[in-house]
Amino acid sequence: MQKRLLPFLAAVLVLLLIGGGLAAQDEKVLVIGHAEQTDSYDPAHGYTPTTGMVHRATYDTLVTFPDGDASEILPSLATDWTVSEDGTVYTFTLGDEAVFTNGDPVTAEDVVFSVNRLQNVQSNPGFLAGEDRIVSVEAIDEKTVAFTLPDVRPSFLTELTNTAFSITNADVVQANGGTDADDAASTDTARDYLDQTSEGTGPYILESWAPQDETVLVRNQDYWGEAPYFDRVIIVNIPEAATQKAALESGQIDIALDLTPDQIAEMEGNADLGIFSGPGQWTHFLLMNADPEIGGPVSDPTVQLAIRYALDYEGYRELWAGSVTPGTNMAYILAGAFQQDQAFTRDLDMARQLLADAGYPDGFDITLEYPDYTAFGVNMNTNAQKIQADLAEAGINVTLSPGELQVALEAYRTGQEGFGYWFWGPDILDPVDVLSFVPGGKVAAERANWTAEMVDPAVIELIEQAKVATDAEERLDLFNQVQEFLQQNGAFAPFNVPATQRAYRADIEGYVWHPSWELDVALLSRAE
Amino acid sequence: MSLQIYIIRRFLFVIPLLLGITVVSFLIANAVPADPINANLPQNALNDENLVRAFREKWGLDKPLIEQYFTYLGNLLRGDLGVSIKTRQPIVEDIQQFLPATIELATVSIVLGLAMGIGVGVISAVWKNSIADYVARIFVVIGVSFPVFVLALIGLTVLHVQLGLVAGPGRLDFIVRDPPHVTGLFTVDSALAGQWDKFGNAVSHLVLPSLILGSYVAGIIARITRSSLLEVLGMDYIRTARSKGVRERWVIVRHALSNAMIPVVTVIGISYGNLLVGSVLIESIFAWPGIGRYAFRASTSQDFPAIMGVSFLIAFIYVVVNFIVDILYYFLDPRIRVA
């Protein structure tokens, strides 16, 4: 018995050693560790940071941003464009170089199909192409396409950079059940197909997706732009930040996208690793429902202002390394957003005085609802405890009520939450994004019941002007006025923007974070 | 009682049990205080009454609860667990995708746990109150009382990152492609395909998670083995065997251990069931795409057909494992055969 056991054990040992050395392959492979969050890779359905990264690699849009920021609009599939005198019709000319993965050239019909399908499938990103935003999209000739908007909207080109506007091969998608008809929400069946492959013009092709396990991209051999360095990109689902860290440190993955600020701090000084750090896009804020029956004391504008004065902004910055205090709910990274030096600072005496003015000299009791969730490395429970402590100093007695994310979202989205803590990232990388938070705006009206009728008509007039201003300087001035109004008034108290921090192996070159699509894998290479 | 009658009797118990499980899993999935419509429809679709109605009709939410239950039960009898809202695949297919990873890990873990647990238990019973016993008991306390996720994180940091002794997260190195699918068990599939490098890789990835899961099981089994064996070793028939001059090793293995195994087998049954369904944390930490992680995602996204499917599967596994344990009793405990 023992004689037979020994050779067996030896064989197992040899196999283990061979197994350990498997990584040596000729292919250039990039492995990304990421907490996957999507239920589709169909551009008309998926709308998360995960899909942004994959769509950026596999599709192109008509226009795009520079590699690392949202400072200007650059040509992509469209080589140039014109805007009609009245500012409502945008006409794009398509370039001749781009071809789909099967060799078909990109035509105006593909653009029409992709945009109409996005609109009519009515899934997560559908609102970007909703009828209130795009009246029609028409092919003028094979290489010319015109969009008609309901009214002047200077942010339109910025919206088109979103990967939801990825241009797909109309013929192939239709052959696989796709439709852009009005009833596409119930008749389109191309989602399963586009979950497993991509029909775009990007530097990579989606090879396979095992949901909650891994996504594999392979290089598009016929890509019309500069060929990317890596032959294959594997995005592995690693939900635990601690596991991502271990896998990165041991070299099993090249990039970790979901590390916490604490973990990043521990990695500083490690010569094997590189760190990307920059201002983030997620604003953490308090919601104070303007409906007195739902919000109770926090529906009072004076109390709302008192709460903005009571928060210890500096404390949150110390809590989360690299974070900043936002000026308003306008995302920190957007042109024209109030920066930290223009942000609110704490004034407890003022907070107490305002509470007394509002009829609460002894404060009041209130429940803070929020999801029991870690948002991109920031544990919301930690912040909630600090909010509780901050407000206690002003005399407000807060009871914390964390809820499971889906359960909490329901109360938030239906406007039933009185006093809540949430976070927000811009859908459109343009100052118009803040209009969700002005009286009557999407978040303000639907979730905080703060409607246009509740404020001075002059404010609504100001907001309307800001929406349509095309002159850059005038636009900036108007948005500044909107932000000044939001600091003094309203249902929201933005208090912290955590930093964006990513870690990668030191031999990875060209790492750039992008606020819209997270990471462009085609820009990366490995030092040799 | 003959074996056939015993099996039939046990089997008759299983049917009402499974039926009860369907009721409970159905009620649990429906009792969660969140509306699946809010969790699964995009926000702009929520404002469209037609889309909301279509969703309700599609998933049967417009029907009374009792009718929903009987539809579910009818489908279940045909082996149809329904379709997941999130993955939009038949749940049976989802289970086929995620369960093998869990079975592979749980099976290796229970084997390691048994080997360690029985070994340690026997040593500490036979050499009671010796140094070996004390060392063994410390091992048991650590195995049982240390939270598995702490062991997992320490193991990953020290054994994988710092010392490089074991492979890290995942079922294979992330860069390695899966072996051709036959059973879904990577060790088996790679061996069948003759891909021995992948076999070695799969085994090396099993080492750390299965040692950790196995050490918890080993702790429990060692404790039960020790106390059960001590009890048996004090019995008259053992003294008789010894006084007849039977060799000590034979006394322990044949006379004592086989009788001491009855409570141990019970624990093995429960532990294996626990490993199959309760390794969510380990699966999460080791990026192991198993059924625990699938269940967690189903429950946090209000995917009620998937929640029901997984709950039923879990309960079914418990029932089957306990059924097997009952049959093992028949062989281990002569009293059942005589009764």
Q: Which residues from chain B sit within 8 angstroms of residue A126, using beta carbons?
A: 42, 44-45
| CB atoms B48 and A19 under 8 Å | no
| pLDDT band, residue A22 (cuts 50/70/90) | very low
Mean pLDDT in residue range A416-427: 93
Residue A435 contacts residue A441 (beta carbons within 8 Å): yes
Lowest mean pLDDT across A15-29, A178-192, B83-97, B208-222: A15-29
- Enumerate the residues of chain A whose CB falls inside 8 A of the CB of residue B33: 407
Evaluate if residue A4 carries a pLDDT over 60.
no
Q: Are B171 and B289 in contact, with CB atoms under 8 Å apart?
A: yes
**Residues A369-411: pLDDT tens digits?**
999 888 877 889 999 999 999 999 999 999 999 987 777 888 8
End-to-end CA distance of chain B: 6
Most A CBs within 10 A among B85, B161, B163, B175, hence the mutation to make, goes to: B175
Q: Give the CA angle between residues A13, A18, A19 to the nearest 5°.
A: 95
ipTM: 0.82
Structure confidence at residue B47 as a pLDDT band (50, 70, 90)? low
3-state SS assignment for residue B83: strand
**A144-169: average pLDDT:** 95
Hey, what amino acid is at B49? E
Q: Which residue from A25, A39, A249 is facing B161, i.e. has the nearest CB? A: A249
**Residue pLDDT, tens place only, A268-297:** 889 999 999 888 889 999 999 999 999 999
Q: Are A297 and A366 in contact (CB under 8 A)?
A: yes
Tell me the backbone φ, ψ of residue A154, rounded to 5 degrees.
Answer: -65, -15
- What percentage of chain A has pLDDT greater than the value 70? 95
Contacts of A105 (CB under 8 A, 6+ apart): A96, A98, A99
Nearest to A376 by CA among A264, A267, A272, A269: A264
* Longest pairwise C-alpha distance within chain B: 86
CA A69 to chain centre: 14
- Is 60 exceeded by the pLDDT of residue A25? no
Question: Which pLDDT does position A23 carry in this prediction?
Answer: 44
| Confidence class for position A225, pLDDT limits 50, 70, 90 | very high
Instruction: Kindly list the residues from chain B whose CB atom is less than 8 angstroms away from the CB atom of residue A9.
Output: none
Best of B96, B174, B281, B301 to substitute, by most chain A Cβ atoms within 10 angstroms, is B174
Write out pLDDT tens, residues B111-136: 999 999 999 999 998 888 889 889 88
d(CA B311, CA B24): 9
Under the banding of pLDDT at 50, 70 and 90, the label for residue B256 is: confident
Question: Quick one: closest CA in B to A443, which residue?
Answer: B43
Give tens-digit pLDDT for A137-146: 999 999 999 9
pLDDT at B172 over 90: yes
Is B87–A22 a contact, with Cβ atoms under 8 angstroms apart? no
- In the predicted model, what is the mean pLDDT of residues B100-118? 93
Q: Which of A460-464, B58-62, B104-108 has the weakest average pLDDT?
A: B58-62
> What is the average pLDDT value for chain B, to the nearest integer?
85
C-alpha span between B335 and B339 (Å, rounded)? 6
Q: pTM of the full predicted structure?
A: 0.85
Residue B42 has pLDDT above 70, yes or no: no
Query: Which residue did the predictor score with more confidence, B88 or A14?
Result: B88
- Check B197 against A19: CB less than 8 A apart: yes
Q: Give me chain A's average pLDDT, please.
A: 91
Mean pLDDT of B37-51: 68
Provide the pLDDT for residue B83: 83
Inform me whether the pLDDT recorded for B38 exceeds 70. Answer: no
Higher per-residue pLDDT: A258 or A374:
A258
CA B14 to chain centre: 19
Retrieve residue A498's tokens. 């955590």
**CA–CA–CA angle A252, A257, A260 (5° rounding):** 105
- Within A387-435, strands assigned E span 397-403, 419-424
- Quick one: CA torsion of A515, A520, A523, A524, rounded to 10 degrees? 100
How many whole angstroms separate alpha carbon A527 and alpha carbon A509? 7
Residue spans of alpha helices (H) in A122-188 = 156-160, 170-175, 184-187
Q: Which residues of A touch B286 (CB under 8 A)?
A: 243
Rounded Cα distance, B321 and B58, in Å: 35
Q: Which residues make Cβ contacts (< 8 Å) with residue A20, sequence separation at least 6?
A: B167, B200, B201, B204
Q: In whole angstroms, what is the distance from residue A96 CA to residue A144 CA?
A: 11
**Of A273, A55, A65, residue with least CA distance to A167:** A55
Contact state of A404 with B176 under an 8 Å Cβ cutoff: no
Q: In this model, does residue B6 exceed pLDDT 50?
A: yes
State residue B330's pLDDT score: 80
Give the strand pairing for A74-75 and A63-64: antiparallel
Is B193 exposed, middle or buried, given 0-12, 13-18 or 19+ CB atoms closer than 10 A? middle
Q: Is A212 within 8 Å of B88 when comparing Cβ atoms?
A: no
